[in-house]
Amino acid sequence: MKTGWSRRKYSLSERLIFFMSQPELFSPAEIGAVTGVPVKAVYKLIEQRLPAGFVIRRKQRPLLTRWGALCVVIDREMPKEVPVAIRRQVYAQIGGITPSRAIKCKHGIMHYVVDVKAAADKMDADLAKYRNSMKLIVEDPSIQAGAATFKGTRILVHQIADLIAQGATEAELREDYPRLTREMIAAAAVYAKSHPRRGRPRKPVWQRNEPHH
């Protein structure tokens, strides 16, 4: 069955309702950047522990639903000694529950209680900060060939992230790029983690400009 708007015209309100009803999805890199969990650990969680409904694959790429993102937060907070079987039990109970509910599991003589509300509140706060940061960044085909830039400027986001990685301070960046704000500088580092470049990274400027002997 074909999808989309081909059979009849839809009003703006109908289209808005459709798009608002779709689940918000996050790449493993985005969730890693938001939660501080290494991307490899996020992929491991996807492949080995998460219920299938928490991961949606598009063009063979795994994307996490909000419930999947919540599982990443909970998995990080759990003590390392908690067995995988218990983790799977917890995650299987998460989808569709109210945020105020705690989850209880038993494994042998051990009892585990997971505070879902605390994890959900933290995740929602972190995601809100992430969304606000991403509002500062645009990918406009008419600006810098569509590369990510800060809104209202031609400043490349990855270029600022590279300078931060090389040790540039906020004062140095704002001196060289007066239009940069503190929020933009913080957003650059987050964007670089959540949207890593493909291929081999560029060498730092100081390496490229070294004289040959």
pLDDT at residue number 89: 84
Residues 138 and 148 sit within 8 Å (Cβ to Cβ): yes
How many other C-beta atoms can be found within 10 angstroms of the C-beta atom of residue 176?
A: 12
pLDDT digits (tens, 9 = 90+) for 6-55: 445 445 444 434 333 456 899 999 999 999 999 999 999 999 889 888 99
Domain with CATH 1.10.10.10 in the chain: 135-208
Cα distances (Å, whole numbers) of residue 85 to 53, 107, 116, 200: 18, 8, 18, 38
| Residue whose structure tokens are 């949606």 | 56
Say yes or no: domain 135-208 is CATH 1.10.10.10. yes
pLDDT at residue number 23: 67
pLDDT at residue number 119: 87
Residues 34 and 68 sit within 8 Å (Cβ to Cβ): no
CATH class of 12-131: mainly alpha
Longest dimension (CA), the chain: 69
Task: State the Cα–Cα distance between residues 194 and 213, nearest whole angstrom.
Answer: 39
pLDDT at residue number 52: 83
Q: Rounded mean pLDDT of 85-91? A: 86
Domain with CATH 1.10.1660 in the chain: 12-131
